[in-house]
Amino acid sequence: MFEHAERTVELFADLFRGPIPDGNQLVGIPAPGRTNDVLAMDQFKNVYVLVETRGAGRALKSRRLSSISTSSSQIYRLDVEGEPVEKSYAALVLDKDRRYLLSAFAVLATALLAQLPQSPSPQQIDGFLDTFIELFNDGQSVDPSAVKGVWGELWFISSAPDPASMLRYWHDESHSHFDFSAQGHNIELKTHEGDRSQHHFSHAQLSIASERTSVVSCLVYADNGGRTVGDLMDQIAQSLTLVQRTALVKKALGALGASIEDVAESRYSVRNENTNMVLSVSEMPIVSTDARAPITQLSYVVDMTDLLASRGSPLVAAFAQLSQLERGASGVPS
């Protein structure tokens, strides 16, 4: 899914260093991993991802945001490695004044292109453009802890015996207080860079939790030999259908916002993988408050280290809990 991301960024850099095209012609390079698609640049140094449409007569649908624009079908004249090309393409265009977003632009385009067949239908191309618009965030980067949080959740999914099932439970909108939810069972994944299980909780989150809610404490550390968000997504994607891979991309990259380039940069490993990582919320300390008090958005840090050592369970306990739900849903006795 991300195997061509770094190469795509390098190819765009090659275009910037090369000759400026004349007039309405673009200069292009074949997109890595694609048969018919092109990375390109115009005379103003706007950069393009062009997906061949083979759709003569398609109605033009275009959209423009502050930093990017799209068009569903248009004839482009290109010089692709010295060869003249004139074809119909759908286009993603990054504005020349937003070059600082190039890495994020290239990473997201690479991930979404990997979900397209080599000769996509008009509907698939429109979905590609719409999803790019939905996920691309040209605002501020998210907090670094949010990037680690996505990494931890993906690591949890990748560690599961059945990642596809775990993906279905991830960020269920009807249970948005918790990271994983299924049939009243909830799992909250907490990721922290340190050697103690000290995690931030909202009071509302712990107050509504039941005995069927567990917390998984994932302690990570920066590691040049570790895995990136992209590595974890690639591992998970191996066991997914095309529809499931698209859902994975939307959930993971949508949470990263303008920090999307971190999928190929920040590397982590898990410090406490072989210790007790899972604790029932019923074992957690909760601050008592007067329900009538005008207090909102209360939150606090809980040090779970000693509780995990004395009352916790290994990671397999969380997976066993959800696998029982799978058997129950399929009618198999647990």
Element housing 247 (H / E)? helix 242-256
Are 25 and 85 within 8 A, CB to CB?
no
Q: Quick one: DSSP state of residue 142?
A: P
Residue 334 falls within a domain, yes or no?
no
What's the rounded Cα separation, in Å, for the pair 60 and 126?
Answer: 11
Q: Are residues 66 and 176 in the same domain?
A: no
Q: Are residues 314 and 201 in the same domain?
A: yes
Q: Are residues 250 and 163 in the same domain?
A: yes
Q: Which of 109, 135, 161 is the last residue of a domain?
A: 135
Are 279 and 304 within 8 A, CB to CB?
yes
Specify the pLDDT at position 49: 97
Q: Which of 81, 109, 135 is the last residue of a domain?
A: 135
Q: Which of 91, 110, 135 is the last residue of a domain?
A: 135
Residue 154 falls within a domain, yes or no?
yes
Question: What is the secondary structure of 270-313 as a DSSP string?
Answer: ESSTTS--EEEGGGS------TTS---S-EEEEE-HHHHHHH-B
Q: Are residues 32 and 68 in the same domain?
A: yes
Q: Are residues 121 and 201 in the same domain?
A: no
Q: Residue ranges of the chain with pLDDT lower than 70? A: 55-60, 138-143, 172-176, 209, 257-258, 261, 290-296, 322-334
Q: At what angle do helices 242-256 and 102-113 cross, to 10 degrees?
A: 170
Query: If we measure between CA atoms, which residue out of 74, 84, 79 comes closest to residue 27?
Result: 79
Q: Are strands 213-227 and 185-193 parallel, antiparallel or unpaired?
A: parallel
Residue 63 falls within a domain, yes or no?
yes
Residue 97 falls within a domain, yes or no?
yes
Specify the pLDDT at position 294: 67
Residue 286 falls within a domain, yes or no?
yes
Q: Which domain holds residue 297?
A: 146-329
pLDDT tens string 64-104: 877 899 998 889 999 999 999 999 999 999 999 988 888 88
- Angle at CA of residue 314, ends 213 and 211, nearest 5°: 15
What's the rounded Cα separation, in Å, for the pair 161 and 145?
Answer: 27
Q: Are residues 123 and 178 in the same domain?
A: no
Q: Are residues 180 and 314 in the same domain?
A: yes
Residue 309 falls within a domain, yes or no?
yes
Task: Determine the longest span between alpha carbons in the chain, in angstroms.
Answer: 74
Are 179 and 209 within 8 A, CB to CB?
no
Residue 184 falls within a domain, yes or no?
yes
Q: Are residues 185 and 90 in the same domain?
A: no
Q: Render the burial of 171-196: b for 16+ CB within 10 Å, e for the rest.
A: beeebeebbbbbeebbbbbbbbeeee
Residue 281 falls within a domain, yes or no?
yes
Are 289 and 203 within 8 A, CB to CB?
yes
Q: Are residues 99 and 213 in the same domain?
A: no
Specify the pLDDT at position 172: 57
Q: Are residues 181 and 227 in the same domain?
A: yes
Q: For the chain, what is the domain count?
A: 2
Q: Are residues 259 and 232 in the same domain?
A: yes
Q: Are residues 122 and 214 in the same domain?
A: no
